[in-house]
């Protein structure tokens, strides 16, 4: 089976590519710019630079490769940047998804869209798949727009919502909450970390496994794929400091009002993952267990 992944240079893309190659899938990795993946071209692995919002480029690659499954992970995910560059946010998250989806309808038999907990307003937290969405940022709104397009498409689809993904890149450097805390404390920096936002942080390896289960089972519908521990960023920072024997006194507890940011963040998200457990056999490790792999 051939699987095409968009956004393959990113944290999830790298881990999903490795997992699917280990499972002997044929993988077509795509992302903007040159490859940052640690894999050599082979009979089972190909990389193409691809701008998802460039209709001609995307259509040409999809026509060339004709993948059985498309995992659409590429997105503009920085919340503040989306607010400051709304046209680019819409171009990537909405137009780009529309283009990839249209081509998948032509050439593929299963489309998996990676979405976010930011489609919720964060008033309650612990959201199940059927709960009402109400994004409070442009990032969340564009991701929900894309979800709506996927739900009305003419291809069997799965929407995977996930939450605060962390882990190590296989190659290259890009920050996530655990790596940022670790690197900052290693450099003896004092950091401010919010204690009034709640999430179910997701180890990237678990997220990749959840997507692989969806591919294997040809599952359709919406799935919440996240970790199982409900933690604040401050909790995460303290646990990270203790795990790596770093100075936790450098972590200053603050609330969200401390930061004047263009994009609003939902206060409480986090997911109920019972559907994924029951239908997919998905079971994430604990946050403490995942730290042992970083």
Which domain CATH number covers 150? 3.40.50.720
248 in a structural domain: no
What pLDDT sits at residue 257? Answer: 87
Task: Please state the domain count of the chain.
Answer: 1
29 in a structural domain: yes
pLDDT in tens, 126-150: 999 999 999 999 999 999 999 999 9
279 in a structural domain: yes
Query: Cα-atom radius of gyration of the chain, to the nearest Å?
Result: 18
Q: CA 16, CA 281: separation in Å to the nearest integer?
A: 18
Q: CA 129, CA 271: separation in Å to the nearest integer?
A: 8
Contacts of 49 (CB under 8 A, 6+ apart): 30, 31, 32, 33, 34, 35
What pLDDT sits at residue 265? Answer: 95
Query: Has residue 173 got a pLDDT over 80?
Result: no
pLDDT in tens, 278-292: 999 999 999 999 999
Query: Has residue 168 got a pLDDT over 80?
Result: yes
Tell how many helices (H) and how many strands (E) occur in the chain: 11, 11
194 in a structural domain: no
pLDDT in tens, 217-272: 999 999 999 999 999 999 999 999 999 999 999 999 999 888 888 999 999 999 99
275 in a structural domain: yes
- At 102, the pLDDT band (50, 70, 90 cuts) reads very high
Range of the domain at 6: 2-167+200-229+270-285
181 in a structural domain: no
Beta-bridge partners for 252: 192
> Taking the CB of residue 87, how many other CB atoms lie within 10 A of it?
7
74 in a structural domain: yes
48 in a structural domain: yes
Query: Has residue 111 got a pLDDT over 90?
Result: yes
Q: Are 171 and 230 in contact (CB under 8 A)?
A: no
What pLDDT sits at residue 259? Answer: 85
The pTM for the full model equals 0.97
């Amino acid at each position: 089976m051939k699987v095409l992944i968009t956004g393959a240079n990113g944290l999830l893309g790298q881990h999903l590519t490795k997992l699917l190659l280990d499972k002997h899938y044929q993988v077509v990795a795509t992302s903007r710019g040159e490859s940052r993946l640690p894999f050599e071209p082979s009979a089972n692995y190909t990389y193409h630079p691809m701008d998802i919002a460039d209709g001609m480029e995307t259509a040409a690659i999809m026509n060339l490769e004709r993948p059985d499954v498309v995992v659409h992970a590429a997105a503009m995910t920085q919340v503040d940047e989306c607010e400051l560059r709304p046209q680019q946010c819409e171009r990537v998250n909405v137009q780009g998804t529309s283009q990839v989806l249209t081509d998948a309808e032509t050439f593929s038999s299963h489309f998996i869209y990676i979405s976010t907990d930011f489609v919720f307003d964060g008033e309650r937290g612990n959201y199940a798949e059927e709960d009402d969405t109400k994004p409070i940022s442009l990032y969340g709104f564009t991701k929900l727009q894309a979800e709506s397009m996927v739900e009305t498409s003419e291809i069997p689809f799965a929407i995977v919502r996930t939450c605060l993904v962390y882990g190590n890149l296989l190659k290259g450097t890009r920050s996530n909450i655990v790596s940022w805390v670790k690197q900052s404390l290693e450099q003896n920096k004092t950091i401010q970390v919010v204690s009034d936002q709640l999430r179910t942080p997701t180890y990237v390896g678990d997220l990749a496994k959840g997507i692989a289960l969806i591919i294997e089972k040809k599952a359709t519908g919406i799935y919440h794929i996240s970790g199982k521990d409900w933690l604040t960023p401050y909790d995460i920072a303290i646990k990270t400091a203790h795990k790596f024997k770093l100075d936790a006194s450098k972590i200053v507890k603050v609330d969200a009002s401390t930061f004047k940011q263009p994009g609003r963040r939902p206060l409480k998200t986090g997911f109920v993952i019972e559907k994924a457990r029951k239908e997919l056999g998905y079971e994430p490790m604990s946050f403490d267990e995942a730290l042992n792999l970083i």
